[in-house]
Amino acid sequence: MNISQVAKASGLSARMIRHYEQIGLVPAPARSESGYRQYTQTDLHSLRFIHSAREMGFSMEQIAQLLMLWQDRSRSSSEVKRLAQQHLQELEQKIADLQAMRNTLADLANCCHGDDRPDCPIIESLASR
């Protein structure tokens, strides 16, 4: 497969595939005589794996670790679970942070009269931080 075919089949853009190659997340594929990248089914499976992991919000570092574990048939599932639990804790913290931001903004919006007067608690709060 060429890069456009593997991009379509994996759900990634050609640009992202080249980026993943550049940062070493996936190995550079073989090239045709004319210099075009030639991808295999194994490459496609790896790219789909990366796409799935990105959709779950894993970092590039975590994805690299997950890829190594996925390719290691003698891995311990406890290692995979540890990574997943670590990511879950990170997501829960982000959710808590977003909820706190939402609550603060909702309170400020409720305090703002939203009329023709120049005084605004939203602006005042942003300026005082």
Helix or strand (DSSP H, E) at 112:
none
Q: Please give the Cα distance from 6 to 42 (Å, whole number).
A: 11
This prediction's pTM: 0.82
Residue ending a domain, choose from 19, 35, 60: 60
88 in the same domain as 55: no
113 in the same domain as 81: yes
Domain extent for 4: 1-60
Let me know if residue 66 belongs to a domain: no
pLDDT in tens, 99-115: 999 999 999 999 999 88
100 in the same domain as 49: no
48 in the same domain as 84: no
| Structural domains in the chain (count) | 2
pLDDT in tens, 21-57: 999 999 999 999 999 999 999 999 999 999 999 999 9
**Mean pLDDT of the 80-94 span:** 97
Tell me: pLDDT of 117 over 90.
Answer: no
Residue ending a domain, choose from 29, 60, 91: 60
Helix or strand (DSSP H, E) at 87:
helix 77-111
Closest CA to 87 of 125, 116, 111, 59: 59
103 in the same domain as 53: no
Q: Are 69 and 75 in contact (CB under 8 A)?
A: yes
What the block records as the tokens of 119 is: 């005084």
Q: Are 14 and 50 in contact (CB under 8 A)?
A: no
Q: Are 66 and 83 in contact (CB under 8 A)?
A: yes
